[in-house]
Amino acid sequence: MSEQQEVTHTGGCHCGKVRFEAVAPKDCEGIYCNCSMCTKKGIIHLIVTKDKFKLLQGEDNLSLYTFNTHIAKHYFCSTCGICPYYIARSHPNDIDVNYRCLDNFDITKIKISNFDGRNWEDQVHKIQN
């Protein structure tokens, strides 16, 4: 079986001040996490390597939130409050794109796997490479 061809996905925050590109398979799988942060933000994760992510605009409009271990870096637009991407504690050397922030996002068109983030310490090995 051959790997799926990668495409450049575009996306951004609600107000459009933050824009990015992420290279990933056209129909890549998303990850839904039930931890307190992801549940409240509604994030569906698309994790890409840093070389496959490009912030096109809005770096100066981003704010940062960290908590607990301060490994995860939760970036959000300081105008509209949307979190288009962040650095995940589980993948500190990658970019975790919020699938919901991709242009033309349609939740009915993607496969989503579940991750038990409420029990992060016991479960993280399931999503790490």
pLDDT digits (tens, 9 = 90+) for 44-57: 999 999 999 999 99
**100 pLDDT higher than 60:** yes
CA dihedral 102, 128, 71, 55 (to 10 degrees): -30
Cα gap 81→62, rounded to integer Å: 9
Please enumerate in sequence order all residues whose Cβ is within 8 A of that of 73, keeping only pairs 6 or more positions apart, or say none: 64, 66, 86, 87
What is the pLDDT, as a whole number, of residue 75?
A: 96
Q: Where does the pLDDT of residue 105 fall: very low under 50, low under 70, confident under 90, or very high at 90 and above?
A: confident
For the entire predicted model, the pTM comes to 0.87
Topology annotation, domain 6-122: 2.170.150
Please report, in angstroms and rounded to a whole number, the separation of the first and last CA atoms in the chain.
20
